[in-house]
């Protein structure tokens, strides 16, 4: 709310009655900020001699314009009222304000040379108002990155928008292109974390021709990878694959390890959802090799540390291959690293990936606990967190199988809606399939089939072939549970599920199809075939360590 004009006038009149020397000192203090460290003020004041400066400050304290705020590590003053600071700042002539702001940039760099990172927000402020454009870009960009690291995405967006706008003031040339591209990539991250995917994509549209003009492979790959990532999130699979190919054409030319880590990390994630396990291993191993033991390295313009996310991706791929002990080990390692980094979003993602491993294994007892830990981990994050829908759906799945069917179904439905709201298509098919499975447990077969068909459609559109195999498994179970059972339809679905799971290397679904085929053959009195299928299922479950499923297979064999 604007303050009354008369309040401004009263304060302005009091300032005008000051001795000219004290008035200029008060104006200089106002340019420093609401809080005024003495070393900074001394660096830009007309009277640098400390004794006379302190005498002037004493007079301003007596007049109740300033007050002593702290003594350690540096003596610091503060304006007693925000209005006083505002009016004092406005009373300084424009050219003098610009000069003082510019001088404060130099003063900060001289006085705090060994800890400039702590002052980048102030430096960005003074550089911009001091019309030091080159330094504005440097410090505003650094401030934006610092805000992303602290999950304060709205502040990051403002700093990075200023960085992009200021780049236009630089002379044309490679340096200007490079700095604008990098700023737009980071602005994309802040916008995406703030739930603004379309605005994030717009930054990449602007950055792409700049990267092409610059001809730098590092930035061409960075832009192509991030564009692929957003197209993938939007479910634009064909276009996403085109950008992946562009990135791959330049990937080996990358000279910047940080950009190589970011590129391979995103490629590993996308490859997981597209069911390309060999690519997952290749890209994940490259990230692990480049990061080494420096787990905090190369977060880049991403929102999660690559050392965490790539381990989660690798754990999920191992789970799909039925290598659950290895998957749990690397998934738990991802959680430990995320917690050691004290980074909420990384911890939430690691727990979501680990929950995915346990869901595929059928370890329902561990699933609910992991999901609740995931919710608690991401609570401090200021933006919409893409892992929340997955955690919500897994929690619902656990509730369904714990007998709280309606609560579980509600949790899964809410998770699906959240996923749609944040405009993220990857993984949506899995959430819908979990809803179909929950409806199947509830005995609502028609609804279960409808959701399974929807999940398959979403998955195919997103290039997630796993959804097709999951659909045939669920559709077969639904057909087998009809009254009377649709045995031929069920058998056809299970056979198709086996073929797809074999092609994709998804062993848990293969084992499930063998179990259901064996159960189907038992029910139609084809005992020999039933024994073959159930024996295969039992052996696969035993090898993979899927203990709950193994118990069911053994019980089915015993009932022959």
Pairwise CA distance, residues 468 & 188, whole Å:
33
- 475-522: pLDDT as tens digits: 999 999 999 999 999 999 999 999 999 999 999 999 999 999 999 999
Pairwise CA distance, residues 70 & 103, whole Å:
23
| pLDDT beyond 90 at 149 | no
Pairwise CA distance, residues 106 & 123, whole Å:
9
Distances (CA, A) of 199 to 31, 161, 192, 202, 387: 34, 12, 8, 5, 21
**CA nearest to 394, candidates 348, 355, 354, 357:** 355
What six digits make up the tokens of 376?
A: 């608690």
Say what the pLDDT of residue 49 is. Answer: 79
- Please list the residues that pair with 68 across neighbouring strands: 77
Say what the pLDDT of residue 303 is. Answer: 78
| pLDDT beyond 80 at 1 | no
Calculate mean pLDDT across residues 228-243.
93
State what percent of residues in the chain have pLDDT above 70. Answer: 97
- 7-21: pLDDT as tens digits: 889 999 999 999 999
Calculate mean pLDDT across residues 150-175.
94
Say what the pLDDT of residue 263 is. Answer: 92
Among 69-78, 182-191, 400-409, 502-511, whose mean pLDDT is lowest?
A: 69-78
Confidence of residue 385 (pLDDT cuts 50, 70, 90): low
Dump the DSSP string for 173-184.
SHHHHHHHHHHH
Dihedrals φ, ψ of 35, to 5°?
-100, 135
- 428-467: pLDDT as tens digits: 999 999 999 999 999 999 999 999 999 999 999 999 999 9
Calculate mean pLDDT across residues 194-222.
94
Calculate mean pLDDT across residues 116-133.
96
Say what the pLDDT of residue 313 is. Answer: 97
- 83-104: pLDDT as tens digits: 999 999 999 999 999 999 999 9
**CA nearest to 377, candidates 418, 410, 431, 341:** 341
Say what the pLDDT of residue 560 is. Answer: 83
- 528-552: pLDDT as tens digits: 999 999 999 999 999 999 999 999 9
Say what the pLDDT of residue 165 is. Answer: 96
Cβ–Cβ < 8 Å for 197, 423: yes
Dump the DSSP string for 103-152.
HHHHHHHHHTGGGGGGGHHHHHHHHHHTT-HHHHHHHHHHHHHHHHHTT-
Say what the pLDDT of residue 4 is. Answer: 54
Say what the pLDDT of residue 2 is. Answer: 52
Calculate mean pLDDT across residues 337-358.
94
N-terminal to C-terminal alpha carbon distance within the chain = 79
- State how far Cα 545 lies from the chain centre: 32
The domains of the chain, with CATH numbers, are 1-92 (1.10.10.10), 465-560 (1.25.40.10)
Confidence of residue 394 (pLDDT cuts 50, 70, 90): very high
- Inter-axis angle of helices 344-361 and 306-320, to 10 degrees? 10
Say what the pLDDT of residue 299 is. Answer: 65
Neighbours of 536 (CB within 10 A): 18
Dump the DSSP string for 525-537.
T-HHHHHHHHHHH
Say what the pLDDT of residue 519 is. Answer: 96
| pLDDT beyond 70 at 381 | no
- 276-300: pLDDT as tens digits: 999 999 999 999 999 988 887 666 5
Order of strands across the sheet with 76-79?
35-37, 76-79, 66-70
């Amino acid at each position: 709310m604007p303050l009354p004009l008369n309040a401004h006038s009263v304060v302005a009149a009091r300032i005008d009655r000051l001795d000219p020397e004290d008035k200029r000192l008060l104006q200089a203090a106002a340019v420093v900020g609401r809080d005024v460290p003495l070393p900074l003020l001394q660096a830009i004041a007309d009277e640098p001699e400390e004794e006379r400066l302190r005498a002037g400050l004493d007079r301003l304290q007596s007049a109740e314009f300033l007050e002593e705020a702290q003594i350690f590590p540096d003596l610091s003053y503060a304006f007693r009222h925000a209005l006083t600071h505002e009016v004092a700042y406005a009373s300084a002539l424009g050219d003098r304000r610009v000069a003082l702001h510019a001088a404060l940039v130099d003063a900060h760099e001289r006085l705090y040379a060994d800890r400039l990172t702590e002052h980048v927000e102030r430096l960005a402020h003074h550089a911009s108002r001091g019309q030091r454009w080159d330094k504005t870009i440097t410090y505003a960009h650094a401030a934006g990155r610092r805000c992303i690291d602290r999950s304060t995405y709205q502040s990051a967006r403002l700093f990075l928008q200023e960085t992009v706008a200021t780049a236009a003031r630089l002379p044309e040339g490679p340096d200007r292109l490079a700095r604008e591209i990098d700023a737009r990539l980071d602005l994309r991250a802040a916008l995406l974390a703030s739930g603004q995917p379309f605005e994030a994509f717009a930054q990449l549209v602007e950055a792409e021709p700049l990267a092409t003009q610059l001809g730098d492979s590092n930035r061409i790959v960075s832009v192509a990878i991030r564009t692929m990532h957003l197209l993938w999130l939007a479910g634009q699979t064909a276009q996403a694959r085109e950008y992946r190919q562009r990135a791959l054409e330049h990937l080996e030319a990358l000279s910047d390890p940080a950009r190589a880590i970011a590129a391979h990390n995103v490629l590993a994630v996308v490859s997981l959802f597209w069911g390309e396990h060999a690519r997952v291993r290749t890209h994940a191993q490259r990230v692990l090799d480049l990061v080494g033991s420096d787990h905090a390295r190369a977060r880049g313009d991403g929102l999660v540390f690559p050392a965490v996310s790539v381990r989660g991706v690798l754990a999920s791929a191992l789970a799909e291959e039925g290598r659950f002990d290895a998957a749990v080990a690397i998934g738990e390692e991802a959680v430990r690293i995320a917690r050691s980094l004290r980074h909420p979003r990384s911890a939430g993602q690691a727990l979501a990936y680990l929950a995915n491993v346990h869901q595929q294994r059928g370890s329902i007892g561990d699933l609910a606990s992991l999901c609740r830990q995931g919710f608690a981990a991401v609570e401090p994050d200021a933006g919409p967190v893409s892992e929340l829908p997955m955690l919500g759906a897994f929690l619902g799945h656990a509730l369904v199988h714990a007998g709280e069917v309606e609560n579980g179904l509600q949790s899964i439905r809410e998770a699906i809606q959240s996923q749609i709201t944040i405009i993220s298509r990857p993984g949506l098919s899995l959430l819908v399939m979990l809803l179909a499975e929950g409806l199947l447990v509830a005995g609502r077969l028609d609804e279960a089939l409808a959701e399974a068909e929807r999940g398959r459609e979403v998955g195919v559109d997103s290039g997630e072939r796993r959804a097709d195999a999951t659909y045939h498994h669920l559709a077969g179970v639904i057909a087998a549970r009809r009254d009377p059972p649709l045995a031929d339809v069920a058998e056809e679905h299970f056979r198709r599920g086996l073929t797809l799971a074999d092609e994709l290397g998804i062993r848990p679904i293969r084992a499930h199809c063998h179990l259901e085929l064996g159960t189907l053959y038992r029910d139609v009195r084809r005992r020999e075939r039933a024994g073959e299928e159930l024996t295969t299922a039992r052996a696969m479950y035993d090898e993979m360590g899927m203990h709950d499923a193994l118990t069911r297979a053994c019980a089915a064999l015993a009932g022959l």
